[in-house]
Chain A
Amino acid sequence: AQSVAQPEDQVNVAEGNPLTVKCTYSVSGNPYLFWYVQYPNRGLQFLLKYITGDNLVKGSYGFEAEFNKSQTSFHLKKPSALVSDSALYFCAVSPNTGGFKTIFGAGTRLFVKA
Chain B
Amino acid sequence: NAGVMQNPRHLVRRRGQEARLRCSPMKGHSHVYWYRQLPEEGLKFMVYLQKENIIDESGMPKERFSAEFPKEGPSILRIQQVVRGDSAAYFCASSPPGTSSNEQFFGPGTRLTVL
Interface residues of A (CB under 8 A from B): 32, 34, 36, 41-46, 49, 51, 90, 94-96, 98-107
Contact = CB atoms under 8 A, between A and B. Distances in A.
Given A32-B100, A99-B56, A100-B31, A44 B43 contact: yes
A90 B99 CA distance: 21
A104 B104 CA distance: 12
B75 interface: no
B74 interface: no
Contacts of B108: 42-43
Given A43-B4, A43-B91, A43-B109, A102 B104 contact: yes
Interface of B: 4, 31, 33, 35, 41-45, 48, 55-56, 58, 91, 93, 95, 99-101, 103-109
A51 B4 contact: no
Contacts of A32: 100-101
Given A43-B107, A44-B106, A100-B95, A49 B43 contact: no
Given A43-B108, A90-B43, A102 B100 contact: yes
Contacts of A46: 103-105
Contacts of B45: 101-104
A95 B45 CA distance: 14
B101 A102 contact: no
20 contacts: A32-B101, A43-B93, A43-B108, A43-B109, A44-B93, A44-B104, A45-B106, A46-B105, A49-B101, A90-B43, A96-B99, A99-B55, A99-B100, A101-B45, A101-B48, A101-B100, A102-B100, A104-B43, A106-B42, A107-B41
A104 B8 CA distance: 24
